[in-house]
Structure 1
Amino acid sequence: MNTALLVIDVQQGLCEGEHDAFESQQVIRRINQVADRARAAGALVVFIQHESNAGYLEFGTDSWQLARGLEVKATDLRIRKTSPDSFHRTELEQVLKDNGVTDLVVCGMHTEFCVDTTTRRALALGYPVILVEDAHTTEGNQYLSAPQVVQHHNTTLSNISSFGPRVRLVSTADFRIGA
């Protein structure tokens, strides 16, 4: 299988309490559906976790852990990162090369930071991306609501053509590897 699913930053600190992302529990359910279909098709499933050196999302803390309700299998991989770019100073690119991955599926948190940055970097590295349009979320900000941020990034990312590879939007209901 030449596809990998990247599940970005679906962590406790982003799914509960003051930083609970918009519809985080619904998004977790959708990610579980996407991951089940990816595994069934033989795709590599990679959970990526953001971490800081101290405080919020500090490695090993409860807020750093993968979110409750997220279904992780023994065959899934985990990668730790310290920037919005899942490729920056991580082994992600090498893991993808070692596994013959040529196509990526992206979902997770936060839309305008880690999902956006990782998707753009993937395009720059030559990977076509399926962005699961209803399986990424954020908190929103003082100017845009979370649904507005998600819609904006769905539209923006799927219209980038300068890298060569493109982003294709697919809903959870319509997601299939090879479709």
Structure 2
Amino acid sequence: MTTLTDRPQTALLVIDVQNDVVAEAHDRDRVVANVASLVDRAREQAVPVVWVQHSHPEGMPRGSDGWQYVPELTIGPEEPVVHKLYGDSFEDTDLEDVLAGLGVGSLMVAGAQTDMCIRSTLHGALARGYDATLVADAHTTEDLSEYGAPTPDLVIAHTNLYWADQRAPGRAAGTVTAAEAFAPAAG
């Protein structure tokens, strides 16, 4: 349903599952395992996997240990890595060019942090004409409740709730579970 009619492919977009980003994340191990299973299934079905990697000069400089992807996830040698400085993975990056080159008009989104880069990228994708599906049990965030935010479980639940019914003209959004994403068609 994407408005990018010349791009029939779907890609898995894995956002910021980096050591420092998920070090204190809610339900980290389960979420990382779900992301790993998504990556495996996408590869088995020849679905492109696109990795997004955040950096910040003061807090998480490029090349540092904290900037590295978690050891449970391995980026394939032919899989593109998009480097970003902002929440929305499209802002000031080559993500749009990477996806256009792969013929991608639909995204399955997983990673961290739910209330920052995940939400920004989902909205950025939909605004740019992509279908954007959130993998409901493959994203997480840290606890920012001391600053007035809801607890991480509520942030995740609320994001899943409102993204399940999100839509725009000619574009689809929604949520699936990790088990449902890239599942073989019944027949």
Normalised TM-score (structure 1)? 0.91
CA distance in structure 1 between the partners assigned to 2:93 and 2:18 by the alignment: 18
- Could you tell me which of 90, 94, 99 is aligned with 2:102? 99
Distance 2:99 2:29 in 1: 28
SS in 2 for 1:118: helix
- Matched residue, 1:15: 22
Q: Deviations over 1:22-77 (max 9, x none)?
A: 111211110010111111111111111110122x2111111101112113222221
Cα offset, 1:113, TM superposition: 0.5
In structure 2, runs of 5+ residues without a counterpart are 1-7
Q: Distance between the aligned counterparts of 2:92 and 2:169, measured in 1?
A: 21
- Give 2:42's match in structure 1, choosing from 4, 24, 38: 38
Aligned to 2:30: 26
The CA deviation at 1:177 is 6.1
Query: Which of 153, 162, 166 lines up with 1:160 in the alignment?
Result: 166
Compared with structure 1, are the counterparts of its residues 162 and 101 closer, same or farther at alpha carbon in structure 2 (3 Å cutoff)?
closer
2:89 alignment partner, SS class: coil
* Separation of aligned partners in 2, 1:45 and 1:177: 16
Query: Moved runs in structure 1, 4+ residues, more than 6 A?
Result: none
Q: Percent of counterpart pairs with the same letter?
A: 35
> Does structure 1 retain, via aligned residues, the 8 Å contact 2:89–2:95?
yes
Question: 2:166, 2:174 within 8 Å by CA — same for their partners in 1?
Answer: no
Report how many aligned residue pairs link the two structures: 175
- Normalising by the residue count of structure 2, what TM-score does the alignment of the two structures yield? 0.88
**Residues 85 and 163 (structure 1 numbering): CA distance in 2 closer, same or farther, change over 3 Å?**
farther
Taking the aligned partners of 1:117 and 1:108, their CA distance within structure 2 comes to: 12
2:12 and 2:50 in contact (8 A); partners too: yes
Unaligned 5+ segments in structure 1 are none
Q: Note if 1:6 corresponds to 2:26.
A: no
Separation of aligned partners in 1, 2:76 and 2:183: 18
Q: How far 1:166 moved relative to its partner?
A: 2.5
Quote the Cα distance in structure 1 between the aligned partners of 2:73 and 2:106: 23
- Residue aligned with 2:171, SS: coil
